[in-house]
C-alpha cells in the first residue's frame, strides 16, 4: 500500500503544469528566466496571472488526490502514513518528472497542496511566513526556504501526526537542495525579485 501510494503520488505530481501552460503561449519555460518550471519563473516569463495559475495547479495535483484518499482510507489505521507516502511521491514527482527527463520544479507549491490537506493550520502558518518574507523582500526563494523551515517546527509544536512530521522533515533537505542556486545568489545578494 505504501509503495502504491508513493507511485500514484509520483505520477500525479509529475504533471508539469508550468511547462504545459508556457507551451500554449509558445514559450519553453525551461529556456527562459531561471529555467525552473514552477510558479515563480512562470510569473516572470508569462506574467503574474499565469504564475498564480501554475501555483494553483501544482498545489491541486497533490491536494485533490489526497482529499480523495483521506476519504477512502478514513477507517484504515495506516491512513496518515499512506497519505504521507502519497504526498512524498507527489512532491518527488514534481521535482523529478519523468516527462522532463527527471528534472522539474522545487516542490514548494506541490508541498503546499500536500500540507493544506494533511495539516492545514501548519500549511497556513508556512504560507504566512512566505507571504511576509515576500512582502518585505520581493524574493520568492527566501520566503520559500523560511516557510519550509517553519513547517516541521509548527507540526511538532502542535503535536500533529508523526507521519506528517516525518514527511515535513524528509522533504526539508530535498527542497533546500533544490534551492541551492537560489541560496548562492541570496548569499551574493544577486537573487532576482518578482
Measured CA to CA, the distance from residue 54 to residue 77 in angstroms comes to 34
Q: Residue 176 falls within a domain, yes or no?
A: yes
Per-residue pLDDT at 171: 98
C-alpha cell at 89: 511521491
Give the residue numbers spanning the domain of 54.
2-187
CA distance 112 to 151: 10
Sign of CA dihedral 79, 84, 86, 87: positive
pLDDT band at residue 193, thresholds of 50, 70 and 90? confident
Residues 82-103 have pLDDT tens digits of 999 999 999 999 999 999 999 9
The end-to-end CA distance of the chain, in Å, is: 41
The string of pLDDT tens digits covering residues 147-156 is 999 999 999 9
Specify if 192 maps to a domain.
no
Flag whether pLDDT at 194 surpasses 80: no
Residue with cell 493544506: 116
Give the residue-averaged pLDDT of 177-182: 95
Residue 83 belongs to a domain: yes
Total domain count for the chain?
1
Kindly report, residue by residue over 14-64, the tens digit of the pLDDT: 999 999 999 999 999 999 988 899 999 999 899 999 999 999 999 999 999
108 belongs to a structural domain? yes
Buried b (16+ CB within 10 A) or exposed e, 103-140: ebbbbbbbbbbbbbbbbeebbebbbebbeebbeeeebb
User: Does 142 map to a domain?
Assistant: yes
Average pLDDT, the chain: 95
Over residues 110-164, the pLDDT tens digits come to 999 999 999 999 999 999 999 999 999 989 999 999 999 999 999 999 999 999 9
Asked if the structure places residue 70 within a domain, the reply is yes
Amino acid at each position: 500500500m505504501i509503495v502504491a501510494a508513493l507511485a500514484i503520488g509520483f505520477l500525479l505530481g509529475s504533471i508539469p503544469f508550468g511547462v504545459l501552460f508556457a507551451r500554449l503561449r509558445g514559450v519553453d519555460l525551461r529556456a527562459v528566466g531561471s529555467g525552473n518550471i514552477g510558479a515563480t519563473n512562470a510569473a516572470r516569463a508569462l506574467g503574474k496571472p499565469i504564475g498564480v495559475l501554475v501555483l494553483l495547479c501544482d498545489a491541486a495535483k497533490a491536494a485533490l488526490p489526497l482529499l480523495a484518499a483521506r476519504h477512502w482510507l478514513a477507517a484504515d489505521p495506516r491512513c496518515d502514513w499512506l497519505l504521507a507516502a502519497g504526498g512524498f511521491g507527489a512532491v518527488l514527482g514534481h521535482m523529478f518528472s519523468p516527462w522532463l527527463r527527471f528534472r522539474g520544479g522545487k516542490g514548494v507549491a506541490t508541498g503546499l497542496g500536500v500540507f493544506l490537506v494533511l495539516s492545514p493550520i501548519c500549511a497556513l502558518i508556512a504560507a504566512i511566513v512566505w507571504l511576509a518574507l515576500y512582502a518585505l523582500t520581493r524574493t520568492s526563494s527566501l520566503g520559500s526556504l523560511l516557510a519550509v523551515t517553519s513547517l516541521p517546527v509548527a507540526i511538532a509544536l502542535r503535536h500533529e501526526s508523526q507521519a506528517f512530521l516525518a514527511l515535513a522533515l524528509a522533504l526539508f533537505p530535498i527542497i533546500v537542495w533544490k534551492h541551492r542556486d537560489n541560496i548562492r545568489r541570496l548569499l551574493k545578494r544577486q537573487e532576482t525579485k518578482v
